[in-house]
Amino acid sequence: MRPLTETETSTLFSKLANYTGTSLKALIAPLDNGPNADRFVFRVVQSRCYYVRLSLANLATSIARDKLLSLGTCLGKFTKSGKFRLHITALPILAEHARYKVWVKGKSSVQTARKFKPRWTFAD
């Protein structure tokens, strides 16, 4: 787990600014105004960017990089060409700070009801 480089940070913030606008600052601001205030940071593990509390990120430094699979919430992935792609797991975080509402459309219940076939039947 490592901090983001300058290019990764600018790429990530430009992508997040499209969805959050000026409330992007609220993503990295401290949770409270106390002297020991904990804040959220962005960390990279195997080209995936995670949104995690700083105290947890500091504890995770004692785990070997090849043994650590994930930590926090996965926001997305950096591609080989340097672009950033958001994952569906980033939606709860972006929804709190988004400029506009976004609806994710799933399959209708009619389509899933047709595909569902029970394996067992129960007799009364």
Give a yes or no: residue 100 inside a domain: yes
| Confidence (pTM) | 0.75
Give a yes or no: residue 120 inside a domain: no
- The residue with tokens 């504890």 is 59
User: Which domain covers residue 88, as residue numbers?
Assistant: 2-115
Q: What pLDDT digit, counting tens, does each position of 70-91 carry?
A: 889 999 999 999 999 999 899 8
Give a yes or no: residue 122 inside a domain: no
In this structure, the number of other CB atoms found within 10 A of the CB of residue 15 comes to 18
CATH code for the domain of 15: 3.10.450.220
pLDDT at 112: 47
Give a yes or no: residue 14 inside a domain: yes
Q: Which DSSP letter does residue 51 get?
A: E
Q: How many domains does the chain have?
A: 1
Instruction: Please report, in tens digits, the pLDDT of each residue of the chain (124 residues total).
Output: 889 999 999 999 999 999 888 888 888 887 777 767 788 999 998 899 999 999 899 998 888 888 888 889 999 999 999 999 999 899 888 888 888 776 666 665 544 444 544 455 445 4
Give a yes or no: residue 124 inside a domain: no
Give a yes or no: residue 85 inside a domain: yes
Task: Calculate the alpha carbon distances from 76 to 38, 51, 61, 94, 107 in Å.
Answer: 23, 10, 21, 12, 23
Give a yes or no: residue 123 inside a domain: no
Rounded-to-integer distance, Cα 122 and Cα 124, Å: 7
Give a yes or no: residue 64 inside a domain: yes
Residue type (1 letter), 41: V
